[in-house]
Chains A and B, each alone.
Chain A
C-alpha cells in the first residue's frame, strides 16, 4: 500500500478516536476501499500517483471522515465519568471543611470547581429568607436554605463537570492536531 494512503489513513484514524479492536476493523475496511478505488482508477488508465491522489480527494478530508467514524455520544461517557469523580471529590472536600484541614479543603474545592465554586460559596451563606424570596413562599413547605444549597450544589456540580469535560475535549483535540502536525 502506498505511503500516502497509509499516512492518510493514520490521520483518519487519529480523528476517529476508536478503541483498538474497532480501529483495526475500521481501518481494514477503509484500506480495502481505497485500494479497490486505486486499482479501478489505474485500470481506467490513470498513473499510480494520479490514482492515489484522486482516491484521497474523493474520499474526503481526514478530519471530516475521521470525525464521522467516531462513536456517537462518545463524549457522554467522559461527561458521566467526570461528574461522578467530581461529585465524590466534592463530597469529601465539603465534608473536610468541618475538620482541622477545613481551610485547605475549601481552597482545593474552590480551585477544582472554579468558577462554579465562587457561586456555590456565595449561595451557601444565604439565609432561609433569601431562598424564599427567590423561589416565592409557595414552595416554603418544601424549601429551606439546606435543601436550596443541596439543589444548587448539585446543579453547579453538573455544570462544572460539563466545563471540565469541554476543557478535556479541547486538550485532546489540541493534542491530536499537534500529533498530526508532527507526522
Chain B
C-alpha cells in the first residue's frame, strides 16, 4: 500500500491528533492506533514519532495531559483538548477545506488523478 510522503505530512499530523482527541481523552498508543485505523494505513505513522507531536501541542497549550492509573496498574498519560485546541482544530479544518477546494478546482477531482482511472495516453 502506498503511504504519504513525510513532506506531505509535515505540520499536519498535529491537526490529525487534535481531530482524534476531539472525541475524548486518549493516550499515545491509542492515538497512533486510531490514526492508522482511520487513515486505513495510508498515513503509516511511526509509533515513536507521535510523542514529539504531542509534546509540541502540549507546549502550545492546545492539549493538556494528566497521569491516570491504567488497567494494567501502570501510570498512563492521557491527553485531552483544551479550549484553545478546539479553536485551533476548527481553524485548521477550515484551512483544509479551502485547500481541498483549491486543489480540486485546479487539478480536478481526486478520482481522475489516480493512474488507474486515467484514460490511456492522458497527460496531467
A interface, CB within 8 angstroms of B: 12, 25-26, 28-33, 35-37, 39, 58-60, 64-65, 68-69, 72
Contacts and interface: CB of A to CB of B under 8 A. Distances in A.
Interface residues of B, number: 17
A32 B48 contact: no
Interface string B40-54: 000000111101100
Contacts of B29: 32-33, 36-37
A69 B51 CA distance: 7
Contact of B48 (A25, A35, A60, A72): A60
B28 interface: yes
* Most B CB within 10 A of own CB, among A12, A31, A36, A64: A36
A65 B45 CA distance: 12
Contacts of B55: 69
Contacts of B27: 32-33
B70 interface: yes
A105 B55 CA distance: 47
Contacts of B70: 32
B17 to A, nearest CB: 14
Contacts of B28: 29, 32-33
Given A28-B75, A29-B77, A32-B29, A68 B47 contact: no
A64 B46 contact: yes
Contacts, number: 56
Contacts of B74: 28, 31-32, 35
B86 interface: no
A28 B49 CA distance: 16
A29 B46 contact: no
B72 interface: yes
Contact of A68 (B52, B76, B77): B52
B48 A68 contact: yes
A59 B52 contact: no
Given A29-B77, A32-B27, A33-B29, A39 B72 contact: yes
B77 A65 contact: no
A148 B77 CA distance: 56
A178 B46 CA distance: 26
Those 6 A-B pairs whose CB atoms lie nearest each other, nearest first: A65-B48, A68-B52, A60-B48, A60-B46, A59-B48, A33-B29
